[in-house]
Amino acid sequence: MMAVQSFAKRSDVLPVASWVRDYLHRAELPALTEKAIAREYRKRADKGTVQDADLWVTRTLESIPTGVDLRADDETLCRDAESFASECWALRQIMENVDSDVFHLLPLLDYCQEKGFDAPDAQQAAGIWARACDPRWWRRRLRQRQRRAVEQINVDLGRVHRYAGLYCSADTMAARKRQKERNRNLLASMQAVNEMGQVYTLEELAAVSNSNPAIRRAELMTRIAGFELIAIGMGHAGEFYTLTTPSKFHARHGQTGHENEKWARKYARDAQQYLCKVWARIRSALSRNGLKIYGFRVAEPHHDGTVHWHMLFFMEPGAVDKVREIMRKYALAEDGHEKGAQENRFEAKAIDWSQGSAVGYIAKYISKNIDGLRADGVDSGDDLEAEGPMSGQEGAARVDAWASTWGIRQFQQIGGPPVTIWRELRRAQLTGDDAKQEQLAYVLWREVRGLPAGPQSLLDEAVEAADGGHWNTFVRLLGGPFVPRQELPLSVHRADVDEDARNRYGEIMPGRVLGVVEFSTGQMVTSRVHQWVLQRSGEAAQPWSTVNNCTDTENRRLYQAEIPAEWLERTLNSGTPMLPLDEYEQMQPRALRPDEAEAIRVAEEEARQQKGISWGLYRSRETLRGWRFAGIAGLGNRDGRKIETAAASSPGTGHRQHDERAAAGRGICRSHDAGSNRLAGGNSPAARGTAGLENSIARAQSWLKAI
């Protein structure tokens, strides 16, 4: 320790070349950083040669992006953002009369390059200009660039490793704390108000969403455990892999914290891009060999901030050896000959079910990368990467700052259905009278059309699985862990695009999410039941584009009492005014009798009064998010995709047969729903004649009890 202190004192008085002092001054560095670089320069000149020290300081300062002022505080960055946006606006006025998009954008591309940024990413020139003229667009990028430049300097100076700053530097930790405090203040100052007059701060809403670390951790563990149950049930093998980068990506040695001589000034983001490229090659090779896997990938930092991946995958037992071979091949494709590469670049462990759960292999990495807590809320224990004692929560906070600074995606699901459907179904839960009335309305709708009540629909079962947190059941219902996206039976359903709903850059926004739809039947469950507007505390409410995109449109009428519930979803989809009852019935293959229409209206009115319209009572041959119903039993789209069910051998066949038989009074076609309960021919609505409203409701209620 005395030797280190004596050297530090001596290095402060060692001479620094005048060109280095001028170079440091022009670099606009914070005073402490400038002194630290000068000290490191003296140390390298003393231990090695002046030429080595000159080369080091040149490379260090040249790695700082063009135009970055590391001394600027947040207020200065905001002023710079306003200035850049104003200059872009002036450029836009000059180029307004230029017809060609290419020449129209050239001055803007040159301006962004001069400032050290890529041009805004948008599909049309108007969107590119709109972003460049927005101070908020510049502000985000200025803050991000400065934080990364500061962290680069700290890595160069040796301030990021287990003996200095674990995972990230003290500067990055302080910046992340300021950012989170700024975000908390903003969320606390904003209120969301719905049509029922309920008011919540955005901070309160964030606490019950996936923004809450505890909720995010619980969801990840639920999904991982669900995959494990599937693997056990299907007799699949479990594998735990670790994938790391070549030596040139590692700035510091793990044992001593000394600089790695092979380091090529590649930082965490470079390492992540390298691993993504390796993974893309692995996935291509797996696909070529017909090998399928499913599971999760976790990205986390080494002690010096270099990225490595942990992966928990499940697969057919016969695929294990080939998957390992492919993974190892591409993991070692670059610099695989260097010392330690064979032992450290790729590691594989087989999951031994007799020794415990596969979830245990990855649970500690989930906790470490979120909040450092176990499922019971207790700290997960000391971070083993640290030199001294460091709690799991403190380590997780440093990992969070690291991931935020470098833009690292920490978790990724591989295989299985998309989690978006799962989350939407979990939003849509109804209990008690609400659920009973909705189910009654749906069953009654099928009954008056002569369709079998059948067992519980796939969508119903998926809703129950999501509500109960059974990821394994949810995956099974949607086709299993290997189901292709284009063959999923359920999909997130969006409203039709509203030409008047535009984002802050004037671009047409996609239709807002309404719920989840089952392709084969058109049945839908609504997950977004409220209309929200955003306001600052004490101010009048203003529309918020990401929550309420349908102000003064037909969509806002969803919860107005005078609208019959049967046609709500049709209006919600099409964006066109609802048709009167007589016009609507003329569009049907068979017009409903008055008692049937009344039965539907009564049941749906009860559901509407409960604010529980989550069953979309769709008719056939209606456009739904680019898909066109060709019949109650089949579905095809404009791209030629077709989903067949046991009800029909070609789109529309089942429905046409039903129309013909029902009109002739011969009951439903028995090919409607293979495996479900059939109705006798005399039970069709046409054959019953004047069965009456009471009998229809009684039958629907009895079916409801049966399913």
Residues ≥6 apart with Cβ < 8 Å to 63: 152, 156, 265
What's the token pair of residue 627?
């898909």
Rounded (to 5) percent helix, strand, coil in the chain:
50, 10, 40
SS3 371: coil
Instruction: Identify the pLDDT of residue 278.
Output: 97
Instruction: Identify the pLDDT of residue 611.
Output: 36
Ramachandran angles phi, psi of 576, nearest 5°: -105, 155
* Catalytic residue chosen out of the listed positions 330, 365, 442, 584: 365
Instruction: Identify the pLDDT of residue 429.
Output: 58
Instruction: Identify the pLDDT of residue 554.
Output: 33
Q: Is 365 a catalytic residue?
A: yes
Q: Give the global pTM.
A: 0.73
pLDDT digits 0-9 by tens, 304-333: 999 999 999 999 999 999 999 999 999 999
Instruction: Identify the pLDDT of residue 56.
Output: 86
Instruction: Identify the pLDDT of residue 228.
Output: 94
Instruction: Identify the pLDDT of residue 452.
Output: 59
pLDDT digits 0-9 by tens, 3-45: 334 433 444 444 566 777 777 777 777 777 878 888 888 888 8
Instruction: Tell me how far apart the alpha carbons of residues 93 and 85 are, in angstroms, rounded to a whole number.
Output: 13
Positions in the chain whose pLDDT score sits under 50: 1-14, 431, 542-591, 607-693, 696, 699-701, 703-707
Instruction: Tell me how far apart the alpha carbons of residues 216 and 221 are, in angstroms, rounded to a whole number.
Output: 9
Arithmetic mean of pLDDT over the chain: 74
* Catalytic residue chosen out of the listed positions 163, 200, 274, 361: 361
Instruction: Identify the pLDDT of residue 442.
Output: 59
The secondary structure of 229-266 as a DSSP string is: HHHHHHT-EEEEEEE---GGG--B-TTT-PBPTT--S-
pLDDT digits 0-9 by tens, 444-473: 655 665 655 555 678 888 988 998 899 999
Instruction: Identify the pLDDT of residue 637.
Output: 32
Instruction: Identify the pLDDT of residue 315.
Output: 96
Q: Give Cα 63 distance to the centre of its chain.
A: 32
